[in-house]
Chains A and B, each alone.
Chain A
């Protein structure tokens, strides 16, 4: 471990080697897969093989949070961590059965395309664009932050520089290659990240349970013959922690969060658009299956890693003898005898992700639930994935691989989101709403400019993360569940669904869910109220310009000026500060993370009632729905009104 390569510490050398190597690979792929038409740019020419699309979807889907944080989160949450495992996989069943094949049959480029055409309404299209942009920006800021942190922890680069390097790489291949470039880099990124995640897991599984398959190690026995899960559960309860097998969350909240994550997954635009890239509707179904296999490879390994890492941490760290000499890098842990604190603990203490305070001065580390006696004062959840290679005693290059894997996960997700933002602006907003006589070439140019603009915003948000990034899971999935899922679902399965219902459903679902999350996660302070007013003002302004042909839009212009003034008031602190809500005020005991499922139900009810109270959609729309339901592009059931293929 002490050896150096080219004057660099081994770990640093291999980290730099893998990071630079993989980045070079991504750039090479982007140059090979340049996009020349809007078809290439938005949907990779509708020409991606279902298995490749499955891999790309898996990489698109699994973010820095899945790769770096999820196993650690489960390690701390035990049973409660199941909400992520079921929630972030079960949505693919909904996608494959309810949405993907029909949206692919519809045959356009984006989610707002579907909403706008199915509901024959520019207002609905604009609402969908706003939802897509809002979800994607919250999500991308988190990815950029993750990239910066990975760079700063491992390559000694400041967070700011890391964010900028990551952003430039993503911009390069998304801007150049569009969806085509993004797709094939995501395939490569999936391979990097799954390899990086599984290799340490296999070694840990062998060490702890003797079984090379982590999924079997998870239900296997430790060396002394007791089941691993039981022995971890007993150890944790002895140290005062809650039972690993029971969890603390109320059952209703577990159901609500799982449902919000599942439905939210099916409603996330960057996931949905991946299914526009395959050739046929039947490929969309199959591709969703492949995507879930590739995702399951990580998602069934993660709970095993969680158990291995937590058990290992307690076995090797708790009650071990801490050496000041090793901490000062004057000695090696291996020289300190049997029950000495392992070397990796000191290494990670230096990064600030682990911290030890000897509260009772006995020179040993006591890991306890009680904050009074617990001496592991800092324990970052990401440590359980990052430190795994060292905990498992694996060579330095594996650590480099894990870092490259974490970056692959962050960058692939960021690229997918960038595509949604860029197409929402160029295709949905500019081409379909504001400047309807744009040419393909102009649209492509706007798409690339929009990508640059989005990256600049993402860089800013990654360097100065706004408060809402912490609530990214609640926001992105809650809004996906409460806005997109109901309108798309009803649009396919209920011919009678009309534009009034769709707009009402989106507006009500979105605003109630967003308000609940903001109230309990951030609190409506003056500036937050101001920002809300600003968003409403911008939406009204876009509506004013976008709805010119559909009647008098002057009230919208006036409204947008009024909300603009409210924003100024909020920015100068004139508006009241409302304190954030507390957990005992939760509606039916549902946390903000789970509220998306409540918002979804409200959105469904609103949309249905409003649709029933207003007139049915025009006949050609009902025919379009029948057409979408039939996968064949030749045998039209009714009046062959073929969507553009």
Chain B
């Protein structure tokens, strides 16, 4: 997410030039950023569904949203909204990461 460190030399040179090890290094950094982003999003994914909706719902049910207990609401509504947001956030962030590493996919 936003707390990702930008690698030194923010603007990598274009993919065609540069020798093998440079490209290897860039690939590694790209992949690590991808995995970090994925990890953060999957933690949120787990928290809103299994956490809020199932494991800790009794605690959350002490609060309410409108006329619904909060834990119950997460299990039947809230988790789904968060899922949608997660996918679009991933999609947007990945497009940024790919642009940064000059790895956008071109139209086939």
- Which A residues are closer than 8 A to B by beta carbons? 46, 74, 79, 81-82, 85-86, 89-90, 92-93, 96-98, 101, 105, 215-216, 218-221, 226-230, 245, 251, 254-255, 258-259, 262, 279-282, 285-286, 288-289, 292-293, 296, 299-300, 303, 626, 629-635, 637-638, 645
Residue pair B91, A96 in contact (C-beta under 8 Å): yes
CB distance from A71 to the nearest CB of B (A): 12
Instruction: Give B45's nearest chain A residue, CB to CB.
Output: A93
How many chain B residues touch the partner (CB < 8 A)?
51
Give the Cβ gap from A206 to chain B, nearest Cβ, in Å.
16
Q: Does B3 contact A (CB under 8 A)?
A: no
B61 and chain A: residue at smallest CB distance: A245
Q: Which of B20, B30, B65, B75 lies in contact with A79, CB distance below 8 A?
A: B75
Q: Is the CB of B75 within 8 A of A86?
A: yes
B2 at the interface (CB under 8 A from A): no
- Count CB-based A-B contacts (< 8 Å): 159
Which residues of B lie under 8 Å from residue A105 when comparing CB positions?
A: 105
Q: Name the residue in B27, B38, B84 with the highest tally of chain A Cβ atoms < 10 Å from its Cβ.
A: B84
* Contact A634-B15, Cβ < 8 Å, known A46-B108, A280-B108, A645-B108: yes
Judge whether A285 and B55 touch: CB under 8 Å. no
| Chain B 10-28 interface 0/1 with A at a Cβ cutoff of 8 Å (1 = within) | 0000011000100110110
CB atoms of B75 and A216 under 8 A apart: no
Residues of B within 8 A of A635 (CB): 15-16, 23, 102-103
Q: Which of the residues B38, B69, B83, B98 comes within 8 Å of A89, measured between beta carbons?
A: B83
Name the residue on B nearest A100 (C-beta). Answer: B87
Whether A227 contacts B15 in the complex (CB less than 8 A), given A299-B80, A631-B105, comes out as no
Check A229 against B94 for contact (C-beta < 8 Å). Answer: no
**Residues 24-62 of B at the A interface (beta carbon under 8 Å):** 24, 26-27, 30-31, 34, 38, 41-42, 45, 49-50, 53-55, 61
Bound form: Cα–Cα A626–B30 in Å: 11
Nearest to A96 among chain B residues (CB) is B87
Out of A79, A90, A629, name the residue touching B83 (CB < 8 Å).
A90
B1 an interface residue at 8 Å Cβ cutoff?
Answer: no
When distances are taken between beta carbons in the complex, the residues of chain A under 8 Å from B104 are 282, 631-632
**B53 close to A86 (CB less than 8 A):** yes
Q: Out of B55, B61, B80, B91, name the residue touching A86 (CB < 8 Å).
A: B80
Give the chain B neighbours of A229 by CB distance below 8 A.
67-69, 72
- Give chain B's interface secondary structure class: helix
Closest 3 CB pairs of A and B: A227-B67, A219-B66, A635-B15
* Prevailing SS type, chain A contact patch: helix
| B41 CB, nearest partner CB in chain A, Å | 6
Cβ A228 vs Cβ B103 within 8 A: no
**A216 CA to B68 CA, complexed, in Å:** 10
Q: In the docked arrangement, what's the CA distance between A61 and B43, Å?
A: 25
Q: How far does the Cβ of B55 sit from chain A's closest Cβ, in whole Å?
A: 7
Q: Cβ of B108 and Cβ of A285 under 8 Å apart?
A: no
In the complex formed, the residue of B with least CB distance to A87 is B49
- B50-A637 in contact (CB<8A): no
| Choice from B24, B55, B80 contacting A296 with Cβ under 8 Å | B80
Q: A380 CA to B54 CA in the complex, in Å?
A: 28
Closest to A98 in B: B38
B107 CB-CB contact with A under 8 Å: yes
CA of A638 to CA of B24, assembled, Å? 7
With both beta carbons as reference points, the residue of chain A lying nearest to B35 in the complex is identified as: A493
Tell me whether A629 and B31 are in contact in the complex, defined as CB-CB below 8 angstroms, given that A282-B98, A285-B90, A296-B81 are known contacts.
yes
Q: CB-CB < 8 A to A637: which residues of B?
A: 23-24, 26-27
- Chain B residues within 8 Å of A632, by CB: 15, 98, 102-106
**B50 contacts A258, C-beta separation under 8 Å:** yes
Knowing A215-B77, A220-B67, A251-B54, say if A280 contacts B107 (CB, 8 Å): yes
**In whole Å, how far is A314's beta carbon from the nearest beta carbon of chain B?**
17
Residues of A near B53 (CB, < 8 A) are: 82, 86
Interface residue ranges of B76-94 to A (CB < 8 Å): 76-77, 79-81, 83-84, 86-88, 90-91, 94
With a CB–CB cut-off of 8 A, which chain A residues contact B83?
A: 89-90, 92-93, 292, 296
Evaluate contact between A255 and B80: CB separation under 8 angstroms: no
Q: Are A303 and B76 in contact (CB under 8 A)?
A: yes
- Tell me if B67 and A221 are in contact (CB < 8 A): yes
Cβ contact within 8 Å between A219 and B65: yes
